[in-house]
Structure formats: structure tokens, C-alpha cells
């Protein structure tokens, strides 16, 4: 049974002076059985969030994630963050977010190399993929996402078993539905989740275990009002939440919906009796 995961991407919001209170309040309001929670604050807030969560019982079980890493472990890269620097600060990392692809020009090859660095140091990766509006309107959405996965995993270059061990998570971001006022449907996201697993399986027998078990999150401007439509789809395993993750009530509503999904899966597996 795949886990249900809600990951909060705070992007370039919060400071060390306010991140602790926000993280602990969210943790207290989102303690729901069966849901894995992750908070990904800016780099400067990682230690603050880590310490705040560790200092309160409500923070138990809430993971801390980084929003990016460099594709090399160390080196003369001014202003960058290497994966080993996150030891003790984070246990998750977001890779290939659509904003990084857009603003920093990140390619599938570069993202795949970052994936390798994350696995090497034991960070659990959330690998982001997704198509532009023109690509969806041209009927190429699934082909684009499959191509991104192939490019990233080819550049990763390691043993697929390493990705299984690392607990790879894929986040589907329909770029055209992020901050544009346009919305995807639950059925769109579910179809893409199935396409993601099929694309991974097509890479060969070594990827079979990864394809079957990889959690796929939806990441298209999720809110408490829209979360149920996506989390109600059996192929969707949670959400990567952007702007709504900075609002306690929104996060509480999203995680509550995720809790219903987790309960339903538990009951369906027969373990809930």
C-alpha cells in the first residue's frame, strides 16, 4: 500500500523569526493518522523548523525538506547548497520544480544528476514533472512527462534499487494550472499518475519495483477546497502544496482530506478490520 504524503513547499516565504511558529502550528493542526507530512522551508529556515518541530510533541513524525540541491556534492559554486550540507537539517528534498526549470533553466539531465546526489547522501527525493499548456492542448502532455522522467532517470545513472531504497516520490505539476486561475481535474491528474508509472516501467525490468510502488503527488495549486477531488483518485497519493501551505487552515483541510484517503486505503486492504 503506497503512503499518503502531503508536502508543503514554502518557496521564498518565511524567515527564521516566524518559521518556527508557523511550522509548529501546522504540525499541531495536521496530526492525522496515516498521512506523512513534510515541510520544505527556505534554506535559512531549515534549522529553525527542525528545532521547533523537535521541541514539541506535535512535531513528531513531520519531515523537513529542502527545496533544491546542487548537482555536485562540493566545489567552487558560490551561493549553492551541496547535498552533504543538509545532513541533520533535512531528510527530504524537492528536485526539478517547475519554477527551477523556468527560472534557473534546469534541464532533465541536470535534475537527474541532482537526483543522484540526493540518493548518495540519503535524502528522500520528490522529483517534479509536468507539461505546459501548449503541450497539453497539443495532446502531448503524457509524452512530455514521460520524456522528462526518462531524461532524469537516465542522467541519474545509478542502480534503480537505489531509488527504491531512497523512497523516490514523483510530483506531477501541470504547469498551466499553477497560479494561472486554470484548474486541472482529478481525472487528468489520475491519468497522468498512471502514465508516470507506465513510463518508469518502460525503462526496463530493473525499474519494475519502482514503477509499481512510487507515490505520485499532485502539485497544481492545491487548496483545501480542491484537494478532495485529487486525493479521492486511487492513483494519486498526496499533494505537493505551494501557497496554501503557508496558511494553517488550508493545510489542516488538505491533510484532513488526505486522512480520509489513508483510512479508505487501510479499510480496502483489509487491515482496518
The verdict on whether 72 is a catalytic residue reads: no
Strand partners, 232: none
Q: Which of 36, 70, 71, 97 is catalytic?
A: 97
N- to C-terminal Cα distance for the chain? 16
Contact 252, 30 (CB under 8 A): yes
Contact 32, 255 (CB under 8 A): yes
* Grid cell in block for residue 98: 517547475
- H helix runs in 30-71, sequence order: 46-54
Distances (CA, A) of 172 to 81, 131, 166, 175, 235: 25, 9, 19, 9, 12
The verdict on whether 97 is a catalytic residue reads: yes
Q: How many CB atoms lie within 10 A of CB 123?
A: 25
Task: Give the Cα separation of 3 and 200 in Å (integer).
Answer: 18
Q: Which of 131, 142, 173, 233 is catalytic?
A: 173
Q: Which residues are catalytically annotated?
A: 97, 173
Amino acid at each position: 500500500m503506497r503512503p499518503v504524503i502531503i508536502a508543503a513547499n514554502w518557496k521564498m516565504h518565511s524567515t527564521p523569526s516566524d518559521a518556527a511558529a508557523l511550522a509548529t502550528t501546522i504540525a499541531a493542526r495536521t496530526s492525522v493518522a496515516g498521512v506523512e507530512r513534510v515541510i520544505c522551508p527556505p534554506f535559512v529556515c531549515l534549522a529553525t523548523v527542525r528545532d521547533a518541530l523537535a521541541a514539541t510533541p506535535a512535531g513528531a513524525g513531520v519531515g523537513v525538506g529542502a527545496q533544491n540541491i546542487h548537482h555536485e556534492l562540493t566545489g567552487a559554486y558560490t551561493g549553492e547548497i551541496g547535498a552533504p550540507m543538509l545532513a541533520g537539517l533535512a531528510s527530504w528534498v524537492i528536485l526539478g520544480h517547475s519554477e527551477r526549470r523556468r527560472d534557473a533553466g534546469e534541464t532533465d539531465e541536470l535534475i537527474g544528476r541532482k537526483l543522484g546526489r540526493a540518493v548518495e547522501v540519503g535524502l528522500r527525493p520528490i522529483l517534479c514533472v509536468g507539461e505546459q499548456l501548449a503541450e497539453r492542448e497539443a495532446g502531448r502532455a503524457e509524452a512530455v512527462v514521460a520524456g522528462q522522467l526518462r531524461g532524469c532517470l537516465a542522467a541519474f545513472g545509478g542502480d534503480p534499487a537505489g531509488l527504491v531504497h531512497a523512497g523516490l516520490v514523483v510530483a506531477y505539476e501541470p504547469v498551466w494550472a499553477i497560479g494561472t486561475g486554470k484548474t486541472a481535474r482529478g481525472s487528468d491528474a489520475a491519468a497522468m499518475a498512471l502514465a508516470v508509472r507506465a513510463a518508469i516501467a518502460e525503462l526496463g525490468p530493473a525499474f519494475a519495483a519502482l514503477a509499481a510502488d512510487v507515490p505520485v503527488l499532485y502539485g497544481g495549486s492545491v487548496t483545501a477546497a480542491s484537494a478532495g477531488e485529487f486525493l479521492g483518485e486511487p492513483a494519486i497519493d498526496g499533494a505537493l502544496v505551494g501557497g496554501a501551505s503557508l496558511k494553517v487552515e488550508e493545510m489542516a483541510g488538505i491533510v484532513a482530506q488526505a486522512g480520509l484517503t489513508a483510512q479508505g486505503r487501510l479499510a480496502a486492504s483489509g487491515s482496518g478490520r
